Amino acid sequence: MFERFTDDARETVTGAVTEARRCGAGAVTEEHLLLALLELGTLDPLGVDRGSAVAALAEARRRGGMSKADEEALAGLGIDLSEILARVEESHGEGALATAAARPRAGGRVRFAPGAKKTLERSLRIALGGREKTITRTHLLLALLTAPGPVADVLTAHGVTYARVEESTRTA
C-alpha cells in the first residue's frame, strides 16, 4: 500500500513514527498521525492553532483517551468523568488515566496500533473513492476525521470537518 503514498504522505507517516518515538510509545497511533500533520503545517491553511490542538490532544490523553461521545454517554448514566478523573488523579497522581503506551519492541522498532492501521487503510479507500491513484496528506487527514474518537474530536473542535477539508482542496 505504501507505494501509493505520495512523498508528502510518506513524510507524514515518517513524522508519526518520529512522534511515537519522541514520546516513548511502542506503537504509532492516530494521535501521532495528527501530531505529524500539525508539525508539517498541513492544518495551518485551515487556521488550526498548533499549540491549542496539541494541548487538546494532551487533555484527551489525560482523560484516558475518552472521546466526547464517551463522556456524554457516561453523563447520560449519571457518571461525571471529570469527577472520576479528579479522584483518580488525587489518589494516583496527575495523568494516571492517560492511555498507557506500549513499550517499543526489542531493537526499538515502532509498530502501528490497530487504529492507525485502519486510518491508513481508510485513506486508501478515500483516495480510491475519489478516483485517485495516490494517497496524499489530505487523504490521511480525511481518514482521521472519519473515525470517532479523541483525534476527530480535537479536529472538529478546531473547525476541521470533512466538508471543509474537501472544500479547501477544491479551491487550492
- Cell 466538508, residue? 163
Q: Which tens digits make up the pLDDT trace of 59-110? A: 888 877 777 777 888 888 888 877 887 787 778 777 666 644 444 555 567 8
- The stretches of 28-113 forming alpha helices (DSSP H) are 30-39, 50-62, 68-76, 81-92
Q: Which tens digits make up the pLDDT trace of 35-52? A: 999 999 999 999 999 999
From the list 4, 1, 67, the residue with the least C-alpha distance to 31 is 67
From the list 126, 152, 127, the residue with the least C-alpha distance to 33 is 152
Chain center to CA of 145? 9
CA distance 35 to 56: 11
What does the pLDDT average to over 144-163?
94
Report the pLDDT value the prediction gives residue 61, as an integer from 0 to 100. Answer: 81
What does the pLDDT average to over 21-35?
91
State phi, psi for 28 to the nearest 5 degrees.
-75, 130
Q: Whole-model pTM?
A: 0.84
More confident residue, 29 or 107: 29
Domains, the chain, with CATH or none: 2-56+111-171 (1.10.1780.10)
Distances in Å between the Cα of 162 and the Cα atoms of 21, 71, 122, 166 are 29, 23, 13, 6
Give just the sign of the alpha carbon dihedral 117, 29, 115, 107.
Answer: positive
Mean pLDDT, the chain, whole residue set: 87
